Amino acid sequence: MAFDPSIYEQQRRNLQTSLGQQQALNTYRRYLAETAGQRPITQIQEAAFGIQKQVPRLTANYGQRGLQGMGVRSGVYSKALGDYALERTKQLGYAQSDLANQLRGYDLAATQGQESYQESLKDIESNKARQIAADAAALLELR
């Protein structure tokens, strides 16, 4: 009956602990997701002029066939390079969007954790106020 605020402090500490654990786990998962999501982006980016040398090979291929070179500007080469760049840009954008969306999921989870924590704190405060009111009524009943 008697008002005991320590129980609410205990609940608050438990909430903070849970929040910390949940946020830590979520942050770690976000980190893993970011790492994993960044990898295809990097691969796409490096594929053009990296070890795969997709662009130089494409140009060299059309150059060997006389469709590209000094003073030569063939429409076939232009179309092939344009299509490559178009597709590369699209895939790269999609990969970046996918990564961003996935990371937003973790951000949302963190926000939900925060919101849940705040709501739980409000619940505690509400319970505290009700308990105070009940104790006051009990005190009055004792007269």
User: Which stretches of the chain bind other proteins, using CB under 8 A?
Assistant: 45, 48-49, 55, 59, 68, 73, 77-79, 81-83, 85-90, 92-94, 96-97, 100-101, 104, 107-108, 111-115, 118-119, 121-122, 125-126, 128-133, 135-137, 139-143
Which residue, 36, 53, 43, 34, is CA-closest to 91? 43
Token pair 């500007």 is found at 73
Q: Shortest approach of other proteins to residue 48 CB, angstroms?
A: 6
From the CB of 14, what's the least distance to other proteins, in Å? Answer: 18
**Strands 72-73, 68-69: parallel, antiparallel or unpaired by DSSP?**
antiparallel
Q: Is the Cβ of residue 33 or residue 55 nearer to other proteins in the bound state?
A: 55
| Least gap, CB of 89 to other proteins (angstroms) | 4
Query: For other proteins, which is the closer residue by CB, 25 or 46?
Result: 46
Contact (CB, 8 A) for 41 and 96: yes
> Which is nearer to other proteins, 29 or 120 (by Cβ)?
120
Taking the complex as a whole, the smallest distance from the CB of residue 30 to other proteins amounts, in Å, to 13
* 136 half-sphere exposure, CB direction, 13 A CA radius: 6
Nearer to other proteins, 32 or 108 (CB): 108
Closest CA to 44 of 85, 83, 81, 77: 85
**Choice between 35 and 78, CB closer to other proteins:** 78
- Whole-number Å distance between alpha carbons of 45 and 60: 20
How many alpha carbons fall within 13 Å on the CB side of residue 82? 6
